[in-house]
Amino acid sequence: MDEVRFEANIRGWVAIKKMKIDEDTPLIEASRILASIHDSLDRKIWEYLKEEIPTEKIDKKAYELTGATYDEKKKQWTVKGRKTEQQIAQVLAKCNSATALKGIKLPEVKQAKEIAKSYLTRKCLDLMGVRIELDPKLVEKYIEAKSKII
C-alpha cells in the first residue's frame, strides 16, 4: 500500500495531511491531496520569506503595475473588469523590466532580487485572476462533477 504523508510544525504552524493509497484508489485522489499540500506550502513559503524580503512593499508595486484598487466590501485588492491576454502580457512585461523593483530595498544578495521578482510576478498574476498552481478545491469539484456523470 502506498501513502502520502506530510507533517510540518514550524513555530506554531502545524499541518498534517495523510492519505492511504491502494490499487483501487483513483490517482486523481492523490493529485487532490498533493495539490492541497502544495497550496499550504506555497502560502507559508511567502509568509516566512517576509522576514527577508519586503513583500508588503512588493504588494504595493503589484497594485500599481496591475491598476488594482482596494474593494472596501471584499476587504481586498482587485483588478476590476475582464482581463485580456494583452493586459496580462503587459503586466508580465512590467514585472520582468529592469525597473520593476525600483525603490524597494532588498538584501545585498543577487538571489534576493530573483526571489522578489518571483513574488511580484505571482502577486500580479493573482491580482489579474490567473492562477498558475492547481487549486485543490478545483480538483475536488472535478471529482464530484465526474462522479455525477458516471
Condensed to tens digits (0 to 9), the pLDDT of residues 58-73 reads 999 999 999 999 999 9
Output DSSP code: residue 8. E
DSSP code for 84: P
Q: How many CB atoms lie within 10 A of CB 51?
A: 7
The whole-number pLDDT of residue 150 equals 66
Radius of gyration of the chain (CA): 19
Question: How far apart (Å, rounded) are the C-alpha atoms in residues 21 and 9?
Answer: 24
Q: Rounded to whole angstroms, how far apart are CA atoms 76 and 59?
A: 12
Q: How confident is the model at residue 15 (pLDDT cuts 50, 70, 90)?
A: very high
Can you give the pLDDT at residue 133? Answer: 87
pLDDT tier for residue 131 given thresholds of 50, 70 and 90: confident
Binning pLDDT at 50, 70 and 90, where does residue 120 land?
Answer: very high
Please tell me the predicted confidence (pLDDT) of residue 64. Answer: 95
Confidence of residue 76 (pLDDT cuts 50, 70, 90): very high
User: Would you tell me how many other CB atoms lie within 10 Å of the CB of residue 111?
Assistant: 9
- The answer on pLDDT for 143 being more than 80 is yes
Domains identified in the chain, total number: 1
- Please, what is the average pLDDT of the chain? 93
Domain of residue 50 covers: 2-149
Helix axes 110-127, 27-49, angle to 10 degrees: 120
